[in-house]
Every structure is written in C-alpha cells, then in structure tokens.
C-alpha cells in the first residue's frame, strides 16, 4: 500500500468569519510515494487572528487494574498547513501524527 508523502493544495479559501474566528477551507489531494494522487477532499479549519487558544480532551478508561488511553493515527492537513493557511513545515512527519482526538 502506498504511503502518503505530501499534500497537494488545489484550492484555498476563506468561507466564514466575524467574531473571534475565521473559517478556512482547503481542497486537497494526498500525494503518495508511488506518484499517484488521491481524490480531492475538503478540510475546514479555524484561525483565531489574535492570541493562541487550545482545548484538549483525553479519553481514557481504568478497568481491571489497567489504564487505557485513546490514541489515533491520522493525517492532519490543517496542522500541516498551519495558522493562516501557509505551510508551517515541509516534513511529512508534521502531516501525519499520533494524537488524542480533540473536539
């Protein structure tokens, strides 16, 4: 199975704003190590123009003397594109991360 090695940005637009947040929408394709591209898909992310803010929720369970924490592996295009829509890092490691689900 081919690995994802990059992101191709087909379209970048601001789709909403006002108040404290601006909504940005990207139309992306995954670039694979065999040179092929995925179907186009959309990713929305929020930008807060002034200051930084974050909320995280850690899902866990304690049962039978064990603690389990929910982690997921996944592509994080908004993280790779960074605040304001410009790329933060060219490294594929910044595009795919292991993280706790947020929201």
Q: What is the model's pLDDT at position 90? A: 47
* Residue located via tokens 């947040």: 21
Region 20-26: mean pLDDT is 87
Cα distance between residue 79 and residue 5, in whole Å: 15
Answer yes or no: is pLDDT of 102 > 90: no
Q: Give the residue among 36, 35, 3, 10 at the shortest CA–CA distance from 25.
A: 10
Answer yes or no: is pLDDT of 10 > 90: yes
pLDDT, one tens digit per residue, over 33-83 is 999 999 999 988 888 777 666 666 678 888 899 999 888 777 777 766 665
- Beta strand 66-69 with 60-63 is antiparallel
Cα distance between residue 102 and residue 79, in whole Å: 13
């Amino acid at each position: 199975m081919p690995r994802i090695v990059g992101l191709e940005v087909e379209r970048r637009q601001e789709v909403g704003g006002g108040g404290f947040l601006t909504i940005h929408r990207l139309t992306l394709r995954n670039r694979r190590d065999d040179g092929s591209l995925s179907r186009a898909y959309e990713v929305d992310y929020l930008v807060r123009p002034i200051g930084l803010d974050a909320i995280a929720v850690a899902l866990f369970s304690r049962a039978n003397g064990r603690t389990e924490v929910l982690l997921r592996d996944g592509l994080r295009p908004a993280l790779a594109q960074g605040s304001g829509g410009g790329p933060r890092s060219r490294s594929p490691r910044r595009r795919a991360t292991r993280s706790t689900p947020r929201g």
